[in-house]
Amino acid sequence: MTENLAANRLQSSGAYALELDGVARHFGALVALSGIDMRIAAGERRAVLGSNGAGKTTLFNAVTGDFLPTAGRIRFFGEDITDLPPHERIRRGLRRTYQISQLFKGLSVLDSIFLACRGVSRRRFSLLRPAAADVNMVQARSILEAVHLDAHRDALVATLSHGQQRQLEIALALAGAPRFILFDEPAAGLSPTERRDLVAILNALPKHIGFIIIEHDLDVALRVADYVSMMHNGRLFKEGTPQEIEADPEVQQIYLGGKHG
């Protein structure tokens, strides 16, 4: 049911996966985001760079509805989702990962991914145990392989290493036919090898799935993105191709030169 609705919407929607008009977020007197205008085409891969406190994660929270924006409108594939609760946005094909892993420590890896698949499907309230052949279980097992966690499928999430938990973060976002994903520093705390795996996973995503990636590691960010947005003090101040951004003197001074962490 959800999938059909999503498909209909895809046909009727415009060319943009995500449109932000004047999105702002204030925490009391603190302006975390102000006047963000952004257009991201369907299937586009965008990197958002900026120092800590630039408002990148706040931007994600506004888009997913974790924290509502105080001003502005957000459209997802042409539909205004500004006032929708988070779960309704997710059911429309939006996904996200978290900078600090947000997982279910008492559940197994496979069950976690199963829940991610079931969350955008039917029978969320089922009082029956899912069969091994359940369509969401089958989906979960294939995602498990895609993120190289099949060896840990029955492990409790609490027992996973940091790197494995980051992989599971991504697995949860890939579940159930996503149309657009927000990756919040997916490479945080990963080893160089794990970073290479991450780049491979992101580049292997189906072409119709667009994403925004917040990432401090430019080796990761500029390798997976088509286009880059720079944020500073809650504002977007520069956009360009990875090459332009890397070469820009102002960018180098604010971000690449004096890296804040």
Partner 1 sequence: MSLTAATDGAMPQQNWLDKLGAAHILLAVALLLYPLVASDFFLTQIAGYSMIFGVLALSLMLLAGYGGMLSLAQITVAGIAAYAVAILGNNTSNVLGFGWPWWIVVPFAVAAAAVSSALIGWISVRTEGIYTLMITLAIATATFYFAQQNYAIFNGHSGYAGIHAPVFWGIDWRDPKPFYYLCLGLAALSYAAVLYGSRSTFGMTLQAIRDNPRRMRALGYHVTAHKVFAWFLAGILAGLAGVLLVWFNGRVSPGTIGVDVAIDVLVIAVIGGLRHPIGSFLGAIVVILMQTFAIDIVGAERFNTLIGLVFLVIVFVSPDGILGLWGRIKPHFAQESLRAGP
Q: Which stretch binds partner 1 (CB under 8 A): 12-20, 38-46, 114-122, 237-245?
A: 114-122
- By CB under 8 A, the residues from 135 to 194 that bind partner 1 are 152-156, 158-159, 172, 175-176
5 sits near partner 1 (criterion: CB under 8 A): no
Closest separation in Å from C-beta 257 to partner 1: 35
Q: Which stretch binds partner 1 (CB under 8 A): 5-13, 88-96, 214-222, 236-244?
A: 88-96
Cβ closest to partner 1, residue 56 vs residue 238:
56
Cβ closest to partner 1, residue 145 vs residue 244:
145
Q: Which stretch binds partner 1 (CB under 8 A): 47-55, 113-121, 208-216, 234-242?
A: 113-121
Cβ closest to partner 1, residue 92 vs residue 195:
92
Cβ closest to partner 1, residue 105 vs residue 208:
105
Assess contact for 95 and 174: CB atoms under 8 A. Answer: yes
Out of 9, 26, 73, 91, which residue is the one contacting partner 1 (CB under 8 A)?
91
66 sits near partner 1 (criterion: CB under 8 A): yes
223 sits near partner 1 (criterion: CB under 8 A): no
125 sits near partner 1 (criterion: CB under 8 A): yes
User: What is the 3-state secondary structure of the chain?
Assistant: CHHHHHHHHHHHCCCEEEEEEEEEEEECCEEEEEEEEEEEECCCEEEEECCCCCCHHHHHHHHHCCCCCCEEEEEECCEECCCCCHHHHHHCCEEECCCCCCCCCCCEHHHHHHHHHHHCCCCCCCCCCCCCCCHHHHHHHHHHHHCCCHHHCCCEHHHCCHHHHHHHHHHHHHCCCCCEEEEECCCCCCCHHHHHHHHHHHHCCCCCCEEEEECCCHHHHHHHCCEEEEEECCEEEEEECHHHHHHCHHHHHHHHHCCCC
Site residues (CB under 8 A) for partner 1? Answer: 64-66, 85-87, 90-91, 95-96, 98, 102-108, 111-112, 114-116, 118-120, 123-130, 132, 152-156, 158-159, 172, 175-176
